[in-house]
Chain A
Amino acid sequence: MKVFSPFLSGLLFGLGLCLAGMTDPRKVQAFLDLAGPWDPSLALVMGAASAAAFIAFRFAGRAPFAPAPALLKQIDGRLYAGAAIFGIGWGLVGFCPGPALANLGFLDVRAAVFVLAMASGMRAANVLLAHFEPAQVPRVKISEIPATPARLAEDS
Chain B
Amino acid sequence: MQVDWAHFTPASALGGGALIGLAATLLLLRDGRILGAAGIFAGLAQPKTGDFAWRLAFVGGLMVSPALAALLWGVTAPQIAASPNLLIVGGFLVGLGARLGNGCTSGHGVCGLARLSKRSLAASLTFMATGVATVFVFRHLLG
Contact = CB atoms under 8 A, between A and B. Distances in A.
Contact of B20 (A17, A55, A70, A114): A17
Contacts of A126: 46, 99
A75 B124 CA distance: 12
B103 A38 contact: no
* Interface-centre pick from B15, B19, B39 (highest chain A CB count, 10 A): B19
- Bin chain B's interface residue count: 35 or more
B17 interface: yes
Interface residues of A, number: 120
Given A11-B61, A70-B115, A101-B41, A38 B4 contact: yes
Contacts of A45: 13-14, 16-17, 20
Contact of B33 (A22, A34, A83, A155): A155
- Nearest 10 Cβ contacts at the A-B interface: A156-B107, A156-B36, A52-B21, A14-B65, A82-B101, A20-B16, A121-B95, A10-B61, A48-B17, A86-B97
Given A100-B94, A155-B40, 8 more contacts: A9-B58, A12-B26, A20-B9, A44-B14, A82-B96, A86-B127, A117-B89, A155-B33
Interface of B: 1-4, 7-10, 12-43, 45-46, 50, 53-69, 72-73, 75, 77-82, 84, 86-120, 122-124, 126-136, 138-140
Interface of A: 1-27, 29-30, 32-42, 44-57, 59-60, 63, 65-67, 70, 72-75, 78-98, 100-108, 110-111, 113-126, 128-129, 149-151, 153-156
